[in-house]
Chain A
């Protein structure tokens, strides 16, 4: 059975071009880039090139790029650097809808004596920017906000916030793991101090990430060790993956236009058709400010895990904001922060497309999903409520 992969916010297929670029660095060119001999030095040259390619994608300078092991390490490093470089400050700000990599780090810090402000979002997942600025104090060390939400795709106005925060002596970090490669990002015009990205979300390999640190930003390493990354991140470079990520960044730049036209059209058709064919279904998140590849749709009166496992029968891969899929008992913190009613949050499904999706796959989901929802509703004691009545109040 063919896999219909619409879970690209979880991870992506490594582009064949990326695999090709990586392979020689496992077998022939296995030198250590720190070595004095030219066998290692040639590898170091390739890392320099990868760094330049990533800098180009971000509109940054190569020496502002630090390679890490993943998005989570980048986030942890950024938060660590910001608070360690400002030891006298004890207030930090983030949003209520962050990825666990940031959320859990902030929750830990709040137990360690930091005052944490969690900025709310509205029912469409839009950040309450006024709330953010009302809560800034002279004691604020760090603001960390995601660029785009992994569950709903909602984009925060990072550029606007960065400009307003600039010059106040507050470190501004953004977790751009979901945004990089999908929407244009230009550090030259956006005064963000630090930015995290992850290789495997943009058709690069797993196990490699980047932390962008603007020149002049105070920095304290998180992983101490050798002089790699100019002493800002110890540990021998993950050479093949870094080279792969460089190639992926290049491809992402080339494919960005397609992502915002062809992929967006596929996503829009999927969303429109599902909503039209399935009663009591609605989109979570602000349709006007959203990643082009993501849609989160709530199907009321059914439970997400059941939907996923029935779609799995057809090879359709998506993910859910339901409690049952995560092992916790409460539905996603993102949907709850948006005030999505529990009746809908439990049955929310995220489809996240990529440049590898084709129209026939979208057709298949449009064909297969409505009967699945209908079947589960017919099994449910609440199924009657969904038959022909008005859509639920939001």
Chain B
């Protein structure tokens, strides 16, 4: 049995704003029978683009119905511009949280809202953007990327919980992992593009990177590392603990320490070991 909050139960058993607005200004439809859930959202706007009415029709489980009901309650009275800022996390929060396996229900709400707004603004019906990665549920790489970015997802299982991708045959797990990896990699990218660091900034950043990213990795194997000096692009370090006597130390230095520092601080750095 799922652990639904009282608010989810309330919105499921007594959903608000069920139905379809006859002369709707905007309609957003997502999902399908095959996927197991679908939502049709219709909106009525005033001349100032304020949502004066919203109705939904949902096929799905309790949390899908509750998420739809919550969404309509959240957006009525808001301008399109305000409504646009609502994320799936907001919907889940409004409901007092959703079981993690059910987060995709809140994503469906956000998607329907987005489609409705696009429909109102006359944006051409979005072509399927990107390439389908998950064949079972028709999820594209761009959608996966967005879910990973917005919800800080770090593994395939949570991607599946949020947008279903990977929940069927499982053939796409590797592709999803690659997307997660590239997004995580990307997020640290801005550091690379920073303007030239002053010497002090550079040393600080090197220190931080070593203690946050590098030390924990080495400590797991009983090793340790100490920053001795920074001379221009040369980073001088001392390996201690089990690293000091390890035959693989040079490999560790180049493949792990140096590549981390290049990635997170500056691509010009080289790492050297000193006694």
Contacts and interface: CB of A to CB of B under 8 A. Distances in A.
Interface in B36-76: 36-40, 57-62, 64-65
A322 B160 CA distance: 17
Interface bin, chain A: 20 to 34
Nearest to B68: A379
B18 interface: yes
B36 A322 contact: yes
A320 to B, nearest CB: 10
B168 interface: yes
A301 B59 contact: yes
Interface string A287-309: 00000000000000111111001
Contact of A303 (B2, B37, B168): B37
B164 interface: yes
Contacts of B36: 303, 322-324, 329, 331, 342, 346
Contacts of A324: 36-37, 60-61, 64, 102
Interface stretch (A188-196, A208-216, A352-360, A380-388): A380-388
A309 B59 contact: no
A309 B58 CA distance: 16
Contacts of A380: 38, 57-59
Interface in B61-103: 61-62, 64-65, 101-102
B33 A382 contact: yes
B41 to A, nearest CB: 10
Given A306-B65, A342-B33, A342-B36, A329 B59 contact: no
Given A303-B36, A303-B60, A322-B61, A379 B18 contact: yes
A118 to B, nearest CB: 15
Contacts of B65: 306, 379
Contact of B167 (A325, A329, A342): A329
A43 B38 CA distance: 59
Which interface residue of A327, A329, A378 has the most chain B CB atoms within 10 A? Answer: A329
A288 to B, nearest CB: 30
A309 B12 contact: yes
A249 B64 CA distance: 44
Given A330-B167, A342-B36, A305 B137 contact: no
B136 interface: yes
A371 B135 CA distance: 36
A112 interface: no
B95 to A, nearest CB: 15
Given A329-B137, A343-B33, A381 B58 contact: yes
Contacts of A346: 33, 36
Contacts of A378: 18
B38 A382 contact: yes
A343 B34 CA distance: 6
B211 to A, nearest CB: 39
B223 interface: no
Nearest to B31: A381
Contacts of B224: none
A301 B60 CA distance: 9
Contacts of B102: 324
Interface of A: 301-306, 309-310, 313, 322-325, 327-331, 342-343, 346, 378-383
Given A309-B62, A382-B59, 16 more contacts: A301-B33, A302-B59, A303-B36, A303-B59, A304-B61, A306-B60, A306-B61, A313-B13, A322-B36, A322-B61, A324-B64, A329-B136, A329-B164, A381-B39, A381-B59, A382-B38
Complex A-B, nearest 9 residue pairs according to Cβ-Cβ distance, in ascending order: A329-B167, A324-B61, A305-B61, A380-B59, A381-B40, A381-B57, A342-B34, A343-B33, A346-B36
